[in-house]
């Protein structure tokens, strides 16, 4: 086959060459082959476009997968009975008390922020929604056990010679989201008494306005 063209009539060779040139320029025009004046290492427009489209599609798959992962985590998150605390996630309330400002961000964290200075100590990260029994004096003056909802936070900043800080937020029905009292029950074990409309009877039945006023 060496110098095959040399054995063909010149008219046939030039005919074939013309056909090759016209097919090549057609393919270049359509972007299937790189243009002759382009660097031979560069790829054709069609390949670049296909690569860009693939990258865009891959990026969108990654972003959808991330969204799905977040939605799944959200479905597994404990928002309390009837998901009553869902709307409060990330809502932060504070209370000034002595040298600290205590902070409660619903279903996220509790903090002890120094009022003079910027030191902030984690009193725990959200762990679970639960219940606790507290003693209350009823209208007849008797001490009775009442079950209250709690939001618990643990794995806070470690305490010198003690446990990692933790907080039990005890909820009461009230018109406002408000910290009434913060106490250190034991070293680095805190309790916070918090009022919220979400803790009012009937709140778990849906997102209707709390029925506390009727009941009172």
Q: What residue ranges bind ligand MAN (CB under 6 A)?
A: 112, 121, 159-160, 184, 187-188
Q: How far is the CB of 182 from ligand MAN (least distance, A)?
A: 10
* Closer residue to ligand MAN in complex, CB, 27/121: 121
Distance CA 13, CA 82 (A): 84
Q: CB–CB of 141/111 below 8 Å? A: no
* Closer residue to ligand MAN in complex, CB, 149/192: 192
Q: CB–CB of 169/180 below 8 Å? A: no
Q: How far is the CB of 85 from ligand MAN (least distance, A)?
A: 26
Distance CA 178, CA 182 (A): 11
Give CA separation, 74 vs 68, 70, 109, 110, 126, in Å.
10, 6, 17, 20, 14
* Closer residue to ligand MAN in complex, CB, 46/121: 121
Q: How far is the CB of 158 from ligand MAN (least distance, A)?
A: 10
Bridge partners of residue 171, in order along the sequence: 194
Longest dimension (CA), the chain: 121
Q: How far is the CB of 104 from ligand MAN (least distance, A)?
A: 15
Q: CB–CB of 84/129 below 8 Å? A: no
What angle is formed at CA 29 by the lines to CA 25 and CA 31, rounded to 5 degrees?
A: 115
Q: CB–CB of 161/133 below 8 Å? A: no
Q: How far is the CB of 108 from ligand MAN (least distance, A)?
A: 19
* Closer residue to ligand MAN in complex, CB, 188/200: 188
* Closer residue to ligand MAN in complex, CB, 121/134: 121
* Closer residue to ligand MAN in complex, CB, 46/159: 159
For 44, counting Cβ atoms within 10 Å of its Cβ (0-12 exposed, 13-18 middle, 19+ buried), the class is: middle
Please identify the residue of the shown chain whose CB is closest to the bound ligand MAN: 160
Q: How far is the CB of 113 from ligand MAN (least distance, A)?
A: 11
């Amino acid at each position: 086959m060496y110098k095959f063209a040399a054995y063909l009539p010149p008219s046939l060779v030039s005919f074939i060459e013309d056909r090759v040139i016209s097919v090549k320029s057609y393919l270049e025009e359509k972007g299937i082959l790189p243009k002759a004046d382009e660097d031979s290492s560069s790829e054709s427009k069609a390949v670049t476009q296909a690569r860009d489209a693939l990258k865009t599609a891959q990026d969108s798959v990654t972003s959808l997968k991330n969204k799905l992962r977040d939605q799944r985590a959200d479905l597994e998150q404990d928002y309390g009975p009837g998901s009553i605390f869902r709307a409060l996630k990330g809502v932060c309330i504070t209370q000034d008390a002595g040298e600290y400002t205590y902070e409660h961000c619903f279903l996220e964290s509790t903090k002890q922020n120094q009022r003079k200075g910027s030191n902030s100590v984690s009193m725990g990260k959200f762990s679970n929604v639960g219940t606790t029994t507290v003693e209350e004096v009823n209208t007849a003056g008797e001490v009775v056990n009442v079950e209250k909802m709690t939001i618990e936070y643990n794995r806070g900043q470690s305490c010198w010679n003690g446990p990692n800080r933790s907080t039990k937020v005890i909820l009461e029905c009230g018109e406002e989201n408000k910290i009434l009292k913060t106490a250190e029950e034991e070293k680095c074990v805190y309790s916070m008494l918090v009022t919220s409309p979400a803790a009012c009877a009937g709140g778990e039945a849906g997102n209707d306005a709390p029925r506390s006023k009727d009941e009172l």
